[in-house]
Amino acid sequence: MNILILQGPNLNLLGLKSSNKNERLTLDKLNKSIRNHIKGNNVSLKFLQTHKQFQAINFLQRNRTWADGLIIIPTSWAKYDWSIVETINLIQLPTSIIFFEEPFSFGTTESESIMVGNSIKSFSDQPIKACSAGIDHLLSQMI
């Protein structure tokens, strides 16, 4: 199984956000926990963190035939970026949308999200738990 991990605007600053809350979670630590979570499941991952919509769309389009699923942590894209939603719905990959709860929230909640579709399921929790739940959902779809 091949999974794309698309990380949206400002996630590179997760460590800054967590340090303000006396936590120790960086984007690298989150990515390491994702890699650890899939160990032994015969899963390959491709990661992209970007602030730029066109890079996100290119990543999705170029990898659509390689991938069996998508994890996206959209931050503000979940509220405003119809182009990314359209791309996700067009490529029809099983998709887990991840939202971080406080104190890690980047300001957009699941209830505000425009990211909906037949192949999309949302998960809200602390970063590692939400990502793990999203991955488990994708793995269950591929069995």
What is the pTM assigned to this prediction?
A: 0.93
Structural domains counted in the chain: 1
Write down the pLDDT at residue 22: 64
Measured between alpha carbons, how far is residue 32 from residues 86, 133, 136, 141 in Å? 29, 15, 16, 23
Average pLDDT along the chain: 92
Domain of 76: which CATH number?
A: 3.40.50.9100
Quickly state the pLDDT bin for 143 (edges 50, 70, 90). Answer: low
Its domain, for residue 102, covers 2-141
Q: What is the arithmetic mean of pLDDT over 60-72?
A: 97
Instruction: Answer whether residue 21 shows pLDDT above 70.
Output: no
> In this model, does residue 123 exceed pLDDT 90?
yes
